């Protein structure tokens, strides 16, 4: 075997090794790039939300009016939002400030729904015995209605609407009568087993007044949950709600909710 024949296999190995390294490097760069884009998008939303706080301007609720948007097509039922909410707000076990429901629609129009542990742990495959033609996940929470029955029925004024449009509960005034729990058409309230007062989603008011996003929005890996402010010029969520075919839950209740849905199917109640 001559010298050329001895070097050829080595050259081929070097070539293949080099090609493999380049491919691996490209894959790493691509993966990093995708993560960087995702991080940049999240950071951009955070930057927009924190502009006022970063400027050192004291929070003025009269300069904000919040709304919430859920894109049903993007929800994968992972439960990250529910877990984030529970952790951020110290939500007791078996109670939920936000939850996720699974809808399965058969060819004949029969609807099966479930929400095991509020969707907190995700969803396992389910055999329904039906020919399922459509399935999707629907996150739910307090709709922060402009005409809120829970506020109207509270006998002590513990439930109230803040100047920036959110429905909140004054735990010091709440007597735990449960009227608001019964009045809410969205099932978003419960009586806290330890404080014995009404508890519900506040859109993480302690966070948004500091320029942060609600925990559920920040935790969503697909961008299915969006948080907006109608008083912020060029707010993307506000523009989507104004220009897209969004829907609300239970429109017949005339509560004027500030939680909107993209891609909401008629089966959802």
135 contacts 126 by C-beta, under 8 angstroms: no
pLDDT in tens, 138-166: 999 999 999 999 999 999 999 999 999 99
CATH class in words for 61-262:
alpha beta
207 contacts 214 by C-beta, under 8 angstroms: yes
pLDDT given for residue 51 in this prediction = 66
Query: Of residues 129 and 49, which shows the higher confidence score?
Result: 129
Q: Which of 83-110 are b and which e, b meaning 16 or more Cβ less than 10 Å from the residue's Cβ?
A: bbbbebbebeeeebbbbbbbbbbeeeee
pLDDT given for residue 41 in this prediction = 43
What does residue 160 show for φ and ψ, rounded to 5 degrees? -150, 165
**Which runs of consecutive H residues, i.e. helices, occur in the chain?**
3-54, 80-89, 149-153, 179-183, 205-208, 215-219, 236-243
Range of weakest confidence among 2-6, 106-110, 131-135, 214-218: 2-6
pLDDT given for residue 24 in this prediction = 41
pLDDT given for residue 240 in this prediction = 97
pLDDT given for residue 49 in this prediction = 44
Cα 67 vs. chain centroid, distance in angstroms? 12
In whole numbers, what is the pLDDT of the chain averaged over residues? 86
pLDDT in tens, 5-20: 444 444 444 444 444 4
pLDDT given for residue 57 in this prediction = 83
Structure tokens belonging to residue 207: 């966070």
Residue 27 pLDDT > 50, yes or no? Answer: no
């Amino acid at each position: 075997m001559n010298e050329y024949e001895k070097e050829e296999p080595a050259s081929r190995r070097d070539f293949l090794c080099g090609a493999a390294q380049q491919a691996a490097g490209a894959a790493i760069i691509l993966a990093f790039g995708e993560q960087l884009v995702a991080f940049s998008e999240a950071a951009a939303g955070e930057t927009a939300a924190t502009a006022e706080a970063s400027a050192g301007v004291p929070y003025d609720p009269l300069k904000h009016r919040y709304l919430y948007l859920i894109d049903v097509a993007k929800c994968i039922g992972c439960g990250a939002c529910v877990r984030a909410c529970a952790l951020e707000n110290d939500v007791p076990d078996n109670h939920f400030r936000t939850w996720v429901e699974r809808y399965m629609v058969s060819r004949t129009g029969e609807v099966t729904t479930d929400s095991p542990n509020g969707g907190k742990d995700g969803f396992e495959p389910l055999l329904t015995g039906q020919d399922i033609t459509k399935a999707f996940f629907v996150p739910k929470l307090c709709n922060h209605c402009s005409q809120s029955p829970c506020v109207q029925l509270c006998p002590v004024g513990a439930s109230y609407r803040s100047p920036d449009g959110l429905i909140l509960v004054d735990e010091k005034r709440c007597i735990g009568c449960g009227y608001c729990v019964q009045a809410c058409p969205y099932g978003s309230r419960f009586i806290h087993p330890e404080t014995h007062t009404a508890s519900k989603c506040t859109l993480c008011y302690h966070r948004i007044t500091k320029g942060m996003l609600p925990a559920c929005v920040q935790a969503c890996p697909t961008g299915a949950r969006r948080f907006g402010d109608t008083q912020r010029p060029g707010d993307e969520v506000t523009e989507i709600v104004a220009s897209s075919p969004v829907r609300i839950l239970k429109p017949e209740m005339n509560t004027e909710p500030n939680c909107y849905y993209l891609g909401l199917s008629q089966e959802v109640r």
